Amino acid sequence: MAYQLYRNTTLGNSLQESLDELIQTQQITPQLALQVLLQFDKAINTALANRVRNRVNFKGSLNTYRFCDNVWTFVLNDVEFREVTDLVKVDKMKIVACDGKNTGSNPAE
């Protein structure tokens, strides 16, 4: 099973919104909606792993980190993002990261 963390993105949220509507109007069953969502997980995991190579550098001070159920979480303070076009500063940033290669296990389980 692929990671589910991308469900909480603009794309994932829009998909779920549409699926919710289809279920509420009884045009599809929740089982079918689940299959669509699982397919979405698979597709977005592959696409992000294979098709994206854009890079952004950032630095900041590490406040907290933990590694639990194969999910890394980092909380950073005073982070500076440097891209060619811009420098963006944020006070607080949370990074949730999973091993992109190890899609065999599922952190949500």
Give the footprint of other proteins on this chain (CB under 8 A).
4, 7, 13, 16-17, 19-20, 23-24, 30-31, 33-34, 37, 53, 55, 57, 78, 84-85, 87, 89, 91, 101, 104-105, 108
Q: Are strands 57-68 and 71-82 parallel, antiparallel or unpaired?
A: antiparallel
Our CB check for other proteins shows the closer of 68 and 87 to be 87
Residue 88: HSE in the Cβ half-sphere, 13 Å Cα cutoff: 11
- Distance CA(5)–CA(54), nearest Å, equals 20
Question: What is the nearest approach in angstroms of other proteins to the Cβ of residue 89?
Answer: 6
- Distance CA(79)–CA(82), nearest Å, equals 10
Our CB check for other proteins shows the closer of 23 and 71 to be 23
Question: What is the nearest approach in angstroms of other proteins to the Cβ of residue 57?
Answer: 5
Our CB check for other proteins shows the closer of 62 and 108 to be 108
Question: What is the nearest approach in angstroms of other proteins to the Cβ of residue 100?
Answer: 9
Question: What is the nearest approach in angstroms of other proteins to the Cβ of residue 64?
Answer: 19
SS3 state at 90: strand
Q: Where are the alpha helices (DSSP H) in the chain?
A: 10-24, 30-50
